A and B are shown apart, each in its own frame.
Chain A
Amino acid sequence: MNGAGVRRFGLGLLPWLGAILLWYAVRWSGFVNVSLIPAPHQVAAKFFELLTREGLLIDIFASTRRVFLGVALGILVAVPVGFLLGWYRPARTFADPMINFFRALPPIALIPLVIVYFGVDELAKLVILFYASFFSGVIVMYEGVSQITPLYIRVAQTLGANQAEIFRKVIIPLTVPHILTALRVSLGVAWATLVASELIAAQRGLGAMIQNASTYFLLDVIYVGIICIGLIALIMDLILRKITARLLVWQDRAIA
C-alpha cells in the first residue's frame, strides 16, 4: 500500500475508533446503568463465542441469502418496470399514483397480511424483501430513465441506427448507471427490512437472532447482531461501488 492509500485507510478507520472510544466513555461516565451497555470487548468476545459455538455463520448466511434473493428478484422486476415508466409518459401517468401508494407503506405493516397469504416459511420473508427492494428500485430507475436526454438518440439516428441498435447501443449504456444506483438503494432498504422480515417465525438469521436475544435480554447478542448487519451491508455496498466504478469509468464524477 502506498502513502496515500495508508492515509485514506487511516481516515476511514478513525470514525470507527472514535465510536468505540465514545462507547467506552458512555459506559464509564456513570450516567447510564453499566449492565445496560455491554463493553466493546465483551461484545467482541460474544461475537467469537457465537461464531465458534452457536453457528453465527449460519445466521449470517441465512440473512445474506434472503437479502440477496429479495434484492435480485426485486431489481429483476424493477428494471423493466422502471424503464417502461421512465420511457413512456402515459405509462407513468397510469402507474405513478399506484406505485407511490404502495411505496409509502412500510413493509412491516404488511407482515400480518403476508403471514395470512404466504405463511411463515422462507417465501413470506422473500415477499417482504422483494416488496421493499422492488419499490425502492423502481423509483430510482424511472427517475433516472426519464432524465435521459433525447440528444443521443437523435445523434444515433442521424448516423443510421435502427430502433434495435438505438436500444442496444444507446439506451442500455445510458440505463446501466441507473440500474446500479437502484441496486445500491434497494440493497440498503433490504438490509433495513431484514429484521422485520425475520419477525415471521424465523429459525435462523441475524434478525431472528436479535429477536430471540431480546426475549432473554441478551444485550451483547443484540449488539453482535446489529453490528453484523451493518458490516455485511457495508461490505456489499463496497463491492457494488467497486463494480460501479469499473463499469462506469466513463462517467464524470467528482471523486478524488
Chain B
Amino acid sequence: MNKRAQFDKVSLSFETPKGRLNVVEDVSYDINDGDFIAVIGPSGCGKTTMMSMLAGFQKPTTGKVLFDGRPVAGPGPERGVIFQEYGVFPWLTVKQNIAFGLTLNANHVPTAERNAICDHYLGLMGLSDFANSYPKHLSGGMRQRLAIARAYAVKPQFLLMDEPFGALDAQTRSNMQNLLLKVLETEGKTVMLITHSVEEAIYLASRIVVVTARPARIKEIIDVPFAYPRDESIQERPEFAELRSHIRQLVMDEYRAQQAQMRPVSFSE
C-alpha cells in the first residue's frame, strides 16, 4: 500500500519558564492511502499537536513528518483540515464559504464548475435551503457540515479532523458520523481523526492510535476488525464491546497518569 503520511521518530518540545516541555515524544507510524486513522488519548496530551504538524502549522523539534514522501513545509490544499472550532467565515454566505477554496489561485475552477461543486455539497450536507444565509443563522451541526463541505470542495486527498464533532449533541454527532462515512464511501479519502470518544474512534476508523498522557507517545496501535461500509449495527456486536472496553482501559490508565502528573502543578499555581 501507498504511504501517504509518515511520522518518523517525531518529537516536539518547547521552552517554558518552568523548563523544557515535551509535547510529543518519539512518535512513529505510517498512514496509508485510504486509511482512516483515529488518534485517541486523554485531553491535552498532544494529539492535536500531532495533527498540527501534519497540517503544517508546527514543525517537529526532531524527527520527520512526511507527506507523499516529502517533509511537510506548511499548510496546503492537498491536506484539508477541519478545525475543532469550525472556522466558517462569518462574513461569507454558506455558498460563498464552500466556494472560497475554489476561488483561490491554488485550485481555481471556472464559475460554472464552481457552482456545480457548491450545489453538490450543499445538497450532500443538507444546506441547500441555506445557500444564501450567513453562518450566524446556522446551528452548530450545520456550521460543522459547512466546514466539512468547504474542506471537501477543494478535493483534498487527505483530511485532518480535530475533534470535529466534539461540540455537538449526541443526535447530531451520530448523524454527522454517518454522513462522514457515507461521503468517504463515495469520495474515498485518507483521514486522520483526532478524538477523545472511544465509540467514535471504533465506529469510524480502520486503525486506532492510542497515545499516552503528555508527552504523547504511542501506547498501542489497534486494527479495527470491521469492514466498510459500516452502519450503527456494528455498535451492538460483541467485538465492538470488547474493543471498546480494551481501549477505554488504555485511555483511562493514561487519564489517571495525567491527573497524577498534573496535581502538584495545579496546587502550586
Instruction: State the interface size on chain B (CB cutoff 8 A).
Output: 30
Q: Given the complex of chains A and B, what is the CA–CA distance between A161 and B107 in angstroms?
A: 9
Contact mask for chain A residues 160-172; partner B; CB cutoff 8 A; 1 contact, 0 none: 1110010001100
A152 lies within 8 A of B77 (CB): no
- Which secondary structure characterizes the binding site on chain A? helix
> At the interface, yes or no: B150 with Cβ under 8 Å from chain A?
yes
Point out the residues of chain B lying under 8 angstroms from A151, CB to CB: 83, 85, 87
B154 lies within 8 A of A154 (CB): no
A158 lies within 8 A of B79 (CB): yes
> Which residues between 26 and 61 of chain B lie within 8 Å of chain A, taking CB atoms?
55-57
Contact mask for chain B residues 104-122; partner A; CB cutoff 8 A; 1 contact, 0 none: 1111000000000000000
Picked from A155, A160, A251, the residue with its CB within 8 Å of the CB of B87 is A155
Point out the residues of chain A lying under 8 angstroms from B154, CB to CB: 159-160
> At the interface, yes or no: B74 with Cβ under 8 Å from chain A?
yes
Q: Given the complex of chains A and B, what is the CA–CA distance between A173 and B90 in angstroms?
A: 10
A159 lies within 8 A of B77 (CB): yes
Picked from B74, B92, B101, B135, the residue with its CB within 8 Å of the CB of A159 is B101
> At the interface, yes or no: B256 with Cβ under 8 Å from chain A?
no
A154 lies within 8 A of B83 (CB): yes
A158 lies within 8 A of B89 (CB): no
B91 lies within 8 A of A160 (CB): no
A161 lies within 8 A of B106 (CB): yes
B100 lies within 8 A of A251 (CB): no
B136 lies within 8 A of A250 (CB): yes
A152 lies within 8 A of B87 (CB): yes
A155 lies within 8 A of B91 (CB): no
16 example contacts (A-B, Cβ-Cβ < 8 A) are as follows A154-B57, A154-B75, A154-B81, A155-B81, A156-B100, A159-B150, A160-B76, A160-B101, A160-B105, A160-B106, A160-B154, A169-B103, A173-B92, A250-B90, A250-B134, A251-B90
B55 lies within 8 A of A170 (CB): no
Point out the residues of chain A lying under 8 angstroms from B100, CB to CB: 156, 159, 169
Q: Given the complex of chains A and B, what is the CA–CA distance between A170 and B97 in angstroms?
A: 12
> At the interface, yes or no: B151 with Cβ under 8 Å from chain A?
yes
A155 lies within 8 A of B104 (CB): no
How far apart are B160's CB and chain A's nearest CB, in angstroms?
Answer: 8
Q: Given the complex of chains A and B, what is the CA–CA distance between A137 and B83 in angstroms?
A: 34
> At the interface, yes or no: B164 with Cβ under 8 Å from chain A?
no
A173 lies within 8 A of B76 (CB): no
Looking at B55, B91, B135, B151, which has the most chain A CB atoms within 10 Å of its CB?
B91
Q: Given the complex of chains A and B, what is the CA–CA distance between A169 and B103 in angstroms?
A: 10
A residues near B (Cβ < 8 Å) are: 151-152, 154-162, 165, 169-170, 173-174, 249-252
B104 lies within 8 A of A159 (CB): yes
Q: If A160-B104, A160-B106, A252-B136 touch, does A155 touch B76 (CB 8 Å cutoff)?
A: no
Looking at A155, A156, A170, which has the most chain B CB atoms within 10 Å of its CB?
A155
Looking at B76, B104, B106, B107, which has the most chain A CB atoms within 10 Å of its CB?
B104
A252 lies within 8 A of B89 (CB): no
Looking at A151, A159, A165, A250, which has the most chain B CB atoms within 10 Å of its CB?
A159
Least CB separation from B78: chain A residue: A160
Q: Given the complex of chains A and B, what is the CA–CA distance between A162 and B92 in angstroms?
A: 19
> At the interface, yes or no: B80 with Cβ under 8 Å from chain A?
yes
Point out the residues of chain B lying under 8 angstroms from A173, CB to CB: 89, 91-92
Q: If A159-B77, A159-B154, A250-B92 touch, does A154 touch B87 (CB 8 Å cutoff)?
A: yes
Q: If A250-B134, A252-B90, A252-B136 touch, does A158 touch B105 (CB 8 Å cutoff)?
A: no
Least CB separation from A151: chain B residue: B87
How far apart are A250's CB and chain B's nearest CB, in angstroms?
Answer: 4
Looking at A158, A159, A173, which has the most chain B CB atoms within 10 Å of its CB?
A158
B83 lies within 8 A of A159 (CB): no
Q: Given the complex of chains A and B, what is the CA–CA distance between A249 and B92 in angstroms?
A: 10
Q: Given the complex of chains A and B, what is the CA–CA distance between A87 and B52 in angstroms?
A: 23
Q: Given the complex of chains A and B, what is the CA–CA distance between A8 and B42 in angstroms?
A: 54
> Which residues between 133 and 173 of chain B lie within 8 Å of chain A, taking CB atoms?
134-136, 150-151, 154
Point out the residues of chain B lying under 8 angstroms from A160, CB to CB: 76-77, 101, 104-107, 154
B87 lies within 8 A of A161 (CB): no
B89 lies within 8 A of A159 (CB): no
Q: If A250-B136, A252-B136 touch, does A158 touch B81 (CB 8 Å cutoff)?
A: yes
How far apart are A199's CB and chain B's nearest CB, in angstroms?
Answer: 43
Point out the residues of chain B lying under 8 angstroms from A152, CB to CB: 87, 89
Least CB separation from B85: chain A residue: A151
Q: Given the complex of chains A and B, what is the CA–CA distance between A165 and B90 in angstroms?
A: 17
Point out the residues of chain B lying under 8 angstroms from A159, CB to CB: 77, 80, 100-101, 104, 106-107, 150-151, 154
